[in-house]
Amino acid sequence: MQFFLDSTDLEEIKRLNSLGIIDGLTTNPSLIYKSKTPFKLLIKKLCDEILGPVSVETVAENSKQMIKEGIKLSKMAKNIVVKLPMTWEGLKACRELSMIDIKINITLCFSTSQALLAAKAGATYVSPFIGRLDDENIDGIELIRQIKKIYNNYSYSTKILAASIRTKNHVTQSALAGADVATIPPKVFSTLISHNQTDRGLEIFNSDWAKSGQKIL
């Protein structure tokens, strides 16, 4: 399973990317707005820092403008993935852009029928929003399982990118359900390593080693 960060916080991205286990990045207009950084400068910095796929979203509402924006975005860096909304216009743009080898992430997916349409349109990724489904008492992880089964049935190459992740349990369950990627906010990503038994065990080991009076170096 690949780990993407869902963020535009460059300092936090740099800190976590230094671990060597971050595979990509996702952004959206809201995150870009919160960054308070000029758009082109921000995208350049993000794409320089993250060598893997970096999803950047169009803001147009019709397919012609989405295609124009998508082509422009794709030229900003080699690792750009163009994000398009799960709408008929978004699917039209997805089909056209994928035919000229521009990678596409179809976002705001909430159903299996939407995921099937994304795959038919040639999307590189589809992003089911599991946290938002959970907010409505709908099992977001079950959606990933169903999408995975459908894609396997017909050998679709579209990757399932679990999005709207709220907890580390979401990450675990997404992996068990067969998601190809989880895009994780930095705050949630930082909790993945935490366990009270790890902390207790380390404390005991360090204490016993200190009592031994020995040195490794």
Query: Which residues, in sequence order, are CB contacts of 31 under 8 Å at separation 6+?
Result: 6, 7, 8
Please tell me the distance from the alpha carbon of residue 163 to that of residue 184, in angstroms, as a whole number.
7
Mean pLDDT over each residue of the chain, to the nearest integer? 97
d(CA 129, CA 72): 26
Q: What is the distance, to the nearest Å, from the Cα of residue 73 to the centroid of all Cα atoms in its chain?
A: 18
Asked if 70 and 83 count as a contact pair (C-beta separation under 8 A), the reply is: no
Note the pLDDT tens digit of each residue in 57-116. Answer: 999 999 999 999 999 999 999 999 999 999 999 999 999 999 999 999 999 999 999 999
Domain ranges of the chain: 2-192
Residues forming beta bridges with residue 85, ordered by sequence position: 107
Q: Are 22 and 51 contacting, i.e. CB atoms less than 8 angstroms apart?
A: no
Amino acid identity at 93? A
What whole-number percentage of the chain has pLDDT above 90? 100
Question: How far is 48 from 22, CA to CA, in rounded Å?
Answer: 14
pLDDT, tens digit (0-9, with 9 covering 90-100), for 173-188: 999 999 999 999 999 9
- Span 2-192: which CATH code? 3.20.20.70
Point out the residues that are catalytic: 83
Helix, strand or coil, per DSSP, at residue 202: helix
Closest alpha carbon to 95 in 74, 118, 75, 128: 118
SS3 for 24? strand
Residue 168 is predicted with a pLDDT of: 97
* Residue 132: strand, helix, or coil: helix
Half-sphere exposure for 84 (CA within 13 Å, toward CB): 38
What is residue 163's DSSP assignment? B
pTM score, two decimals?
0.96
- The label of the residue with tokens 């990627």 reads 181
